[in-house]
Structure 1
Amino acid sequence: MNRTALAALAALAITGISAAFVPTLAAQDAPRMPGVQDPSRVTAGTYAADPGHSLIGWEVSHFGFSDYFGIFGDVAGTLVLDPANPDAAKVDVTIPVANVTTASKGLTAHLLRPGKDGGAPDFFGPAPAPARFVSTSVKAKGMTAIITGDLTLNGITKPVTFEAEFVGAGNNPYNKKATVGFEAETEIKRSDFGVNYAIPFVSDEVELEISVAFEKQ
């Protein structure tokens, strides 16, 4: 066999070994997400909301041309959870409305400014009370659940139903706490909570999107 043929066979052999070996190394070295959508990782107990990694997003239509977006952060509260009986779960969270933020300084200031000449504010006013949601019913099905409860906002309490999804569970790599994450969404009418300014030019309907991480206590 000539040198050219030997070189070709050697190259094929090396390539074959590399192709078989490299994926093994990649699989070993690839970083893994701490949280996985695996219910078997969830343990029973009381969990507290991680305020630094929990957000409530809201969206309203402005004049029918575009949408306003905003965020409430620093969510506090608890989740009592037993994976053997998910329908018995209890959620109680508080949202500091005064910490609302938007991409527009003018809009954020408008949401929190006092009423003109001592009148009622257009939206929340300068010192709004925190909002609170307390669940009254949980109906779980697979990775999803329908969560019904009482939402208190602007001093008014109304029933609200969320469609929720289990996102993942695992140990937080920094504080080592067992953590579970959920996302949920719903739509409310702000007029139900006495926030009536500029309807219908700013839509009465408000879409809410929730992403909350809970750490086991």
Structure 2
Amino acid sequence: MKSFLGSGLASGLALALLAGTPALAQATRDPAQIQSGTYAVDPGHTQVGWRVSHMGFSNYAGGFSDVSGSLTLDPKNPAASKLSIKVPVASVTTTSAKLTGELKGDQWLDAGKYPDMTFVSTKVAPAGKDHAKVTGDLTLHGVTKPVTLDVTLVGAGANPLSKKYTVGFEATGTLKRSEFGVKTYVPLIGDELHLTIAGAFERQD
């Protein structure tokens, strides 16, 4: 009898716990199923990472946060889609508090004078079912130059927690920081800056 009661209690507890657990997200990677419309960056779940060579010994990485921006998405006509991203330069972070402070200063990113890094798309070229080449104007350190991002669809669907329809992409690209006026320690510290954007966008009603 005790065994039966114990088993029944455990089963009931398990069912109660499952009932209180949000359903898993039903995300799709099929562009044909994605909702068109205007989307806004979900800043809490969007990350911008960067990586440079450190004296040829290692690839040193850091990131930015508090990203904002918008996406106009038309899955039936991807070339008509538009992307705009703004990244506060002062949000830069590394594993070294000293280096993080230096990067914000006028020898590097000069966040006081140039507070934002922005990217505004000028062309979207589909490159397969769930890939695209997105070219745009990237502004950093007061300089604007064209940069092309390789963009991959991660997934889209209703967020089971917020209930908001969300679409996510990963974008990668490379730029030469010296071309944007950030020349400190080149070539000792790598000129090539590798960017990775893990972007989540919520559909606006």
Distance (whole Å) between structure 2 residues aligned to residue 80 and residue 154 of structure 1:
27
Q: Are 2:182 and 1:195 aligned?
A: yes
How do 1:1-217 residues align onto structure 2 when only pairs under 5 Å count?
32-113=24-105, 121-127=106-112, 128-140=114-126, 141-217=128-204
Q: Which runs of 4+ in 1 moved over 4 A?
A: none
Amino acid paired to 1:159: P
Superposition deviation, residue 68 in structure 1: 1.5
* Gap regions ≥5 residues in structure 1: 1-28, 114-120
Superposition deviation, residue 39 in structure 1: 2.1
- Across the aligned residues of Structure 1 and Structure 2, the Cα RMSD in angstroms comes to 1.6
Cα deviation 1:88-136 (Å, max 9, x = unaligned): 10001101111011111111011013xxxxxxx2101352321110000
Superposition deviation, residue 200 in structure 1: 0.3
Distance (whole Å) between structure 1 residues aligned to residue 195 and residue 65 of structure 2:
13
| Residues paired across the two proteins, number | 182
Distance (whole Å) between structure 2 residues aligned to residue 40 and residue 74 of structure 1:
30
8 Å contact kept, 1:129–1:155: no
Structure 2 CA distance for partners of 1:126 and 1:179, relative to 1, 3 Å: closer
Distance (whole Å) between structure 1 residues aligned to residue 173 and residue 133 of structure 2:
10
8 Å contact kept, 1:41–1:170: no
* Gap regions ≥5 residues in structure 2: 1-20
Distance (whole Å) between structure 2 residues aligned to residue 110 and residue 34 of structure 1:
43
Distance (whole Å) between structure 2 residues aligned to residue 200 and residue 106 of structure 1:
21
Distance (whole Å) between structure 2 residues aligned to residue 215 and residue 90 of structure 1:
15
Distance (whole Å) between structure 2 residues aligned to residue 74 and residue 42 of structure 1:
26
Tell me which protein shows more helix as a share of its residues: 1
The TM-score with structure 1 as length reference comes to: 0.80
